[in-house]
Amino acid sequence: MIRITTLILLMTLVGCAGMGVEPWERDLLAKDSMQLTPDYFDNFYDEHIYFSKEASNGGQGVGGGGCGCN
């Protein structure tokens, strides 16, 4: 899986070189609602609850506090 993902990431970097927008076309992308984590605490609480109830966690980033709840 690691190799495949690395390949996908590399292909994304190379393949996406032609994609994207000009700076003046960022009107929608610049909105708060289009940020990758638009609602910090919604995401934070969800991750915290599921961490204590399920066997999987992580994926969105590294860091964050530990918890004795799992």
Residues that bind another protein (CB under 8 A): 1-2, 5-6, 8-9, 12-13, 16-17, 19-34, 36, 38-42, 44-46, 48-50, 53-56, 58-70
Residue found under tokens 């690691």: 2
Shortest Å, Cβ 10 to another protein? 9
Shortest Å, Cβ 3 to another protein? 10
Quick check: 34 and 28 in contact, CB under 8 A? yes
Cβ density class 26-46: b for 16+ within 10 Å, e for less: eeeeeeeeeeeeeeeeeeeee
Shortest Å, Cβ 21 to another protein? 5
